[in-house]
Amino acid sequence: MRTTILTCAFAVLLSFAPAVSEASLQIGSKVTFDTSLPGTYGGQFLLTDGGSDAGKEVSAFETFCVELTEFVANGGTYMVTGIGDITVQGGRTLTNYAAWLYTEFRQGTLNGFSSSSTNDANALQYAFWREMQYSDADINNALPGSPAAAYKALYDAESWLADYIADGSWNKAVGYLGAVRVINLQTIDGKHAQDQLVLVPEASTLAVWSVLCLAGLIAYRRQLG
């Protein structure tokens, strides 16, 4: 009976857990980047641990940037200095739609997206930049070859905005970001680097975990009694 109670409680906990998250990533973590993934400018990037102290190690995950004029270098090591909803340079705020896009991307449910497609990566990176309030002119001024029109055409060919509007399971309240946050980064010598996206456990989810853990513990103790 005791085992059954604890097993059921654990199963309920898992049902509330985010499908994917980087709970170990925190301020003070060190990360490094593989920028060789498909995508011409910006993401997608593979972020891995860069020699973090014990307890701050990071599990590898794929990400996209949310700043246009800052950069990360392939193999470079960076320090996490903040996790929130605003970029350091320009103070640009993450939007509900951008959070939905990254959630769908990370869960593997973004309609038509292939992680092996450069065009898909460029379309998604364009969406993130535009949602961070960068204009096509900003993109053209920052990147070689004035690629905004080509990126926009790729994005416009996708159904993502319509899918977002039709998704009744996603809370579209202004300011709601689900489990998505912005990682603020610096170089090891303290210079600002390009901010990225990450999934973290939601506060509401953590609250549910705490309540369920407490309920399971109480039930277990009653069985002992």
Residue 207 lies in a domain: no
Residue 196 lies in a domain: yes
Q: How many domains does the chain have?
A: 1
HSE at residue 35, side-chain half, CA atoms within 13 A, is 14
Q: Could you list the residue range(s) of the whole structural domain that residue 30 is in?
A: 18-200
Residue 4 lies in a domain: no
Q: In this structure, how many other beta carbons lie within 10 angstroms of the beta carbon of residue 165?
A: 12
pTM of the model: 0.81
pLDDT at position 46 is 97
In a structure prediction context, what are the per-residue pLDDT tens digits for the chain, which is 225 residues long?
Answer: 444 443 434 343 334 444 455 557 999 999 999 999 999 999 999 999 999 999 999 999 999 999 998 999 999 999 999 999 999 988 999 999 999 999 999 999 999 999 999 999 999 999 999 999 999 999 999 999 999 999 999 999 999 999 999 999 999 999 999 999 999 999 999 999 999 999 997 443 334 334 433 444 344 345 545
Residue 209 lies in a domain: no
Residue 211 lies in a domain: no
